[in-house]
Chains A and B, each alone.
Chain A
Amino acid sequence: MKLNINGETKEVEVEADTPLLWVIREQLGMTGTKYGCGMSICGACTVHIDGVAQRSCVLPVSAVREDQKITTIEGLGVQQFHPVQEVWAELDVPQCGYCQSGMIMAASSLLARNANPSDEDIRREITNICRCGTYPRVIEGIKTAAKRLAAAGDQGGRDANA
């Protein structure tokens, strides 16, 4: 089975029902994408598939086609940080950090389709769970990143698949 991940084609041998999350973590050895609930609730496992945030913990790897481009946190800001990552570092958004890969992938996906999200948009769209309670800085971070993207005329397409 072939996967297009972070701009590279990878061959994996794995049972067809294995969730994409565990293929990424265990077969491909990329551990930035996290296991949180295994039920597509918490969002710690969020990756992009063709630029759109997807929860990978319940998505069977067999459901991902070879021509679909998977981006993980490791592939988001390869040459330089994605603006969301930049802002996240500037605002010290993470506390324990465990949910933040998923949070950043969800935020960057939101900004890719809504360049200027309102507070209400952010509250509706970002459903990732953070137990440390980084939510206020997540909101601030998304709004700050939106401004930065607008100033740069950029849609955040800096990931390895862009």
Chain B
Amino acid sequence: MQTPDTDTLEQPVNPSRRSFLKGSSIAAGAFVFGFSFPFAKSALAGEAAAPEVNAWVVVQPDDTVLIRIARIEMGQGSLTGLAQLVAEELECDWDKVHFELVKPGANQARDNVWKSQATGGSTAIRGSHEYLRQGGAAARHMLVAAAANQWQVPASECQVDKGVITHKPTGKTTTYGAVATAANDITPPEKITLKDPSEWKIAGKAVKRLDTKEKVDGSMIYTTDFTLPGMLIAVPKACPVHGGTLKSFDAKAVQDMPGVKHVVQLDDNAVAVVADTFWRAKKALDALPIEWNLGPNASVSSASIAEKLREGLSATTDYVGNKVGDAPSALAKAEKVIEADYSYPYQNHAPMETMSAVVRWRKNGCEMWGATQVPESALAALAEAAELPQEVCEVHTMRIGGSFGRRLATDYVRQAALVAKAFPDTPIKLLWTREEDMLQGHFHPVTQCRMRASMDANGELQALHMRIAGQSILAHVNPKGIGEKGDPVMYQGLDPEGDMAIGYSVPNLLVDQVMVNPHIRPGFWRGVNLNQNALYLECFIDELAHAAGQDPLAFRRKLMAKHPKHLAVLEAAAKGIGWDKKPAQGIHRGIAQVKGFGSYVAAAAEVSVTDGKLKIHRIVAATDPGYAINPQQIEAQVAGSFVYGLSPMLSSECTVKDGRIEQENFHTYQVMQLRDMPEVEVITMPSGGFWGGVGEPTIAVAAPAVLNAIFAATGKRIRNIPIKNTDLS
């Protein structure tokens, strides 16, 4: 059991507006982080807070270095990578590094000194590496200057190694811990020169994660584990048809059940039972008579949604994402057009830790302890539901038991705050059941894609039209983001240039979209639209190669001459799988490549299909992320991303019946298990000069590489996943 920092709001508010390069006072530091460190043993529990050197760095008298982490850790390992970037320039001893999580209210009070805390789109490292390294370098300058001042020598005569400062002419030494307090008063340098990555000693190295021990001895406290004295548990249920409302509920029927305190309506669409334990609250919720107004969507089904999408495949549209030459004319004139329709189903994020938040509402302030990928938005949602100014609210961010984009939404934050408001001064832990998590997701949207292409007599691709018909996430979460191209996020992996650029040169290319927005709530699901766009394009390119009677790699090479970085990872994956050599008897291969979230990625798969049963033997993945901050964590991300990307290909899908999602738990939403895991070989080949993400891009190449291998094995072209719906025998 941990000691929660429950007194934050009682302390005087002392917002510091100093620049991030300058340290704040002890008092402000204490306000910001509280006097105790509740979230990890590694965060110096019980030790007094030292003055910070600057916003990113606190050095304790015992030379322990506390690095502040503003972005959210949810398994992707960026917490460690971000600390490596600060530590690299700080020149501290990595073995003495601990971490501390930043809170969004504190960030606002200090003029966003820690910049954006939002964590999504594989941006944690690529979006903050520069100012983190500057923060580390500034702290180093200040610590060295403090030592030089004490010695009355020029700072230029001092050097530092692993937190030990040496005055070269005299050989005198001191440590960061000894000069940290004095460094707090040093003016930060105006100009900072960052190291060339070739000089890195901590960044770029496969160091161990900072947060592993507490994950193997059970001591890590997730939101679901967090406890405050006198806390009650709320278990909610919302209308299973999205957009429907709560008609009535009979609280009397459950009010005498053991432990039940109250039944609370939440907005117009949900109800929560509040009890002394989760189990008692859940039992009462299961027994609670509830009636819903299901609304106009109660008859919607997967079939009716698919029909609307299918209409979109041939509808007229002005939304164009990529255009070269005149594909429609070329296709109209072509002797032969190769055409195929693909689809990708709804998916739930299904993180292992269900939605949860602990909130305590008081008339003078409201606090949340809990998981979110968007601390600033969570704080805003908390304050809005609490009906209090943001200045008197705070979110104590926590590491998350898996999120994958789900906690970019703050629906559960609002719910927790609404319940807490009904119980002033009583901490409330809102905890969703798995069933609620499955039904009330923010689902990876459905799309279909019609691919049409023509080739000349030599099998050279002449024209390609890719029509995407499907659901827009932006239309739900940020309609202002929809512009003249339609929803720009729907073109991920197909853009003319940039972080999501297509890797093929086609003389006549048209990528366009028709938005079809069913009532099922969409959201950003790890990999987002890159997942299906890569599947559509890479499987269809494979179809064209076979139609042209050409090797799929050779066929792609001809289209990729002007895309050397795309091609380099594809060649690396092909080489890794041994594309040049014949596979073993019964083994068949497929390849795929894409650029997404700033990184170039490719995969090559080996499969066998025996009596209709698929076995994925091996996948070789190649990633060029520009710079690799922690290669062993990149390896973990890539291997893990395949589990996320292969689950929808193998078995997981969310279907709709009577307006509601049908899958309520893991028995029907079947995600990949260890028995299906292929051997994974990860090639990381950073070529420098750009910063790409690694959490998401490789998800998108796993499925098409395997599907192309299945075609090689069986002659069956699977265009609608999951393959559990297809007989492979």
A133 near B640: Cβ-Cβ < 8 Å: yes
What is the chain B residue whose CB lies nearest that of A94?
A: B215
Would A97 and B401 be within 8 Å (CB), given that A89-B212, A131-B350 are in contact? yes
B224 near A100: Cβ-Cβ < 8 Å: no
B354 at interface, CB cutoff 8 A: yes
B216 near A85: Cβ-Cβ < 8 Å: yes
Which of B227, B352, B640 gathers most chain A CB within 10 Å? B352
Interface of A is mostly: loop
A32 at interface, CB cutoff 8 A: yes
Q: Which residues of B contact A27 (CB under 8 A)?
A: 277
Nearest-neighbour CB distance to chain A for B404, whole angstroms, equals: 7
What is the chain A residue whose CB lies nearest that of B220?
A: A97
B208 near A127: Cβ-Cβ < 8 Å: no
B636 at interface, CB cutoff 8 A: yes
What is the chain B residue whose CB lies nearest that of A21?
A: B279
Interface size class of A (residues with CB under 8 A): 35 or more
Contact of B401 (CB < 8 Å), options: A29, A39, A98, A124: A98
A36 near B352: Cβ-Cβ < 8 Å: yes
A136 near B434: Cβ-Cβ < 8 Å: no
Q: How far is the CA of A126 from the CA of B679 in the complex (A)?
A: 16
- Binary per-residue interface labels of chain A (23-35) against chain B in the complex, 1 for a CB within 8 Å, 0 otherwise: 0011101111111
A38 near B433: Cβ-Cβ < 8 Å: yes
Q: Which residues of B contact A85 (CB under 8 A)?
A: 216-217
Nearest-neighbour CB distance to chain B for A142, whole angstroms, equals: 10
Q: Which residues of A contact B215 (CB under 8 A)?
A: 94, 97, 100
Q: How far is the CA of A38 from the CA of B401 in the complex (A)?
A: 16
Q: Which residues of A contact B478 (CB under 8 A)?
A: none
A39 near B666: Cβ-Cβ < 8 Å: yes
B130 at interface, CB cutoff 8 A: no
B279 near A18: Cβ-Cβ < 8 Å: yes
B667 near A89: Cβ-Cβ < 8 Å: no
A39 near B674: Cβ-Cβ < 8 Å: no
- Binary per-residue interface labels of chain A (78-96) against chain B in the complex, 1 for a CB within 8 Å, 0 otherwise: 0001000100110011111
Contact of A89 (CB < 8 Å), options: B216, B280, B636, B641: B216
Which stretch, A48-56, A69-77, A149-157, touches the partner chain B?
Answer: A69-77
Which of A31, A122, A134 gathers most chain B CB within 10 Å? A31
Q: How far is the CA of A29 from the CA of B352 in the complex (A)?
A: 20
B667 near A41: Cβ-Cβ < 8 Å: yes
Nearest first, the 10 A-B pairs at minimum CB distance are A32-B218, A96-B75, A133-B643, A98-B401, A133-B640, A97-B215, A73-B218, A31-B225, A95-B75, A94-B215
A contact set with B: CB distance below 8 Å: 15, 18-19, 22, 25-27, 29-39, 41-42, 44, 72-74, 76-77, 81, 85, 88-89, 92-101, 104, 122-124, 126-139
B contact set with A: CB distance below 8 Å: 1, 74-77, 208-209, 211-222, 224-225, 227, 258, 277-280, 350-354, 399-404, 433-434, 632-633, 636, 639-644, 665-667, 671-675, 677, 679-680
Show 10 A/B contacts (Cβ-Cβ < 8 Å), sorted by A.
A26-B279, A35-B278, A39-B665, A41-B667, A89-B213, A97-B215, A123-B674, A129-B671, A131-B351, A132-B402
